[in-house]
Chain A
């Protein structure tokens, strides 16, 4: 069943023996696509359908009203929307790349290097993963105050960088890389940084792409820094800006706006996924090991 596949992802011809797999895979994949369709259809719903009970999955009379509402509120506030979007883009790009670098470098050291307290530190990391994130928000606030980072742009980025999930996943993937490969590279004269760049990164591409997706989500959607640590409107991100509509507007109009806002917030996630997924799915086969 589980045969090793070469660089070619799909067999070239359809054969009747493949049919049984389609029979299982195809119906389940409907459920997988459902939420995406829902987000699109939900944002197109007119007011009466948004409040319909029982809720309907598909829109019946699609309308662009929700987006029009959203656009009209855009223009009212003092700071241009582009400012928030710019902040968000900068924050997200920096977070994603820094997270990948930090997790991959630490994962490499945790997996292939020997040093004191290695296992202890990694267990602590796994345990830290399990701790309720909301419970640390107040101590974290005190910390940010102490470090003097309140109202500093970097506070949008720094707390997100230590992503325990990233290290956890990457270490598991780096563990899979045989030590012989690294030794061979060392004999050929590669130093640690070359090994890291030329072996570790390419071979763990699926994990890195996954972490890129997760880190993107984390920073693009996070409103925590903007609400807690930043008072200056100009330093807040787009997610925060979008959340103000859903919170401050009245319940009824808010529903439509929040549906439209959800779609707008969601589209970059979808784009990054489409951009990344080929890396997630394909590279394992190219890595040259069995």
Chain B
């Protein structure tokens, strides 16, 4: 009897998940494995099918050591993402705290702050970027760039410029993160805060001691989400490079597959750095 019950349970569980598993295996997993195989071989697409010859690590070697541009782009991507992701998450946290306060017109504000989601996930963002609408106009002239470069090491100066010019992008890419934070915030029990304030905690203290630890899982989720969204964003320079290599007869499919896998590994390192730092804080407490 027990076994039959467990079997039934398993079948019910399976009935929820099987469509996803099939779709995932066919349309996501299989192509992924195929690119992994491609990355180790020379791929020739001929009239009667694909011809692959195994060449070992050569594609990787070429992409990493012979292609100067690719390494450069990867390095820039790494630094920029490492900086911008925490900023987006912190910004989303601040905004969601503000949007969780009891004020009039909160619903309207929430809608407005969520609005850019339809911009950034659509094709319109490209047009906006081409037009320069994602940067603050005139910011370059307001701060004297030359002075900034004189007084600071170049990498730091570049970073500051990057942050200032991409300020609007930060605002636009925080919609879903904000939603995740808001959901987390609304689960918090108000009696906890009352207890804290009776014990003499200020609002500031109760934010650090109550709100933030409670939101920690959300912060990790948001970190992951933001890294992924930033990295697979279709206008990301690394992606455009991979794409152009793919359709370029000089490089070919195998080479670009290797590039994609290198990029994937870099992204993985980046993600684990960010997640580990966030986790660290949790265990120290």
Q: Which of B102, B104, B122, B243 contacts A134 (CB 8 A)?
A: B243
- Residue of B95, B180, B184 most packed against chain A (CB within 10 A): B180
Is B143's CB within 8 Å of the partner chain A?
no
Is B221 a contact of A140 with CB atoms below 8 Å? Answer: no
Task: Report the Cα distance A217→B116, complex, angstroms.
Answer: 13
- Please tell me if B193 contacts chain A, counting CB pairs below 8 Å: yes
> Given A1-B207, A281-B114, are A139 and B183 also a contact pair (CB < 8 Å)?
no
Q: Does B211 contact A (CB under 8 A)?
A: yes
Min CB–CB distance A128 → chain B (angstroms): 5
Task: Output the nearest chain B residue to A121 by Cβ-Cβ distance.
Answer: B21
Instruction: Give which listed residue, A13, A32, A129, A140, contacts B171 with CB less than 8 A.
Output: A32
Q: Given A5-B186, A32-B171, A135-B256 in contact, is the A192-B16 Cβ separation under 8 Å?
A: yes
Asked if A1 contacts B100 (CB within 8 A), the reply is: yes
| A132 interface residue per 8 A CB criterion | yes
- Size bracket, chain B contacts: 35 or more
**Residue from B19, B103, B137, B182 in contact with A21 in the complex, judged by beta carbons closer than 8 Å:** B103
B57 at the interface (CB under 8 A from A): no
Interface residue from A38, A140, A158, A221 paired with B128 (Cβ < 8 Å): A38
Q: Which residues of A contact B195 (CB under 8 A)?
A: none
CB atoms of B179 and A210 under 8 A apart: yes
With A22-B103, A29-B113, A143-B31 in contact, is A133–B122 under 8 Å at CB?
Answer: no
Chain B contacts for A207, CB-based, 8 A: 179, 183
Is B115 a contact partner of A32 (Cβ separation < 8 A)?
Answer: yes
Nearest 8 A/B pairs, CB to CB:
A135-B260, A139-B34, A106-B20, A162-B23, A139-B31, A136-B31, A109-B16, A105-B16
A-B contact pairs, 25 of them (CB 8 A): A3-B190, A9-B107, A10-B107, A25-B109, A28-B95, A32-B112, A35-B116, A55-B131, A106-B20, A109-B16, A109-B17, A113-B16, A126-B224, A128-B24, A131-B32, A131-B264, A133-B234, A134-B243, A139-B34, A143-B26, A162-B27, A172-B180, A206-B183, A266-B122, A278-B107
- Could you list which residues of chain B lie within 8 angstroms of chain A, going by C-beta atoms? 10, 12-14, 16-17, 19-21, 23-24, 26-32, 34-35, 38, 50, 95, 97-107, 109-119, 121-125, 127-128, 131-133, 137, 168, 171-172, 176, 179-180, 182-190, 193, 203, 206-207, 211, 221, 224-225, 227-228, 231-232, 234, 238-239, 242-243, 246, 253, 256-257, 259-260, 263-264, 267-268, 271
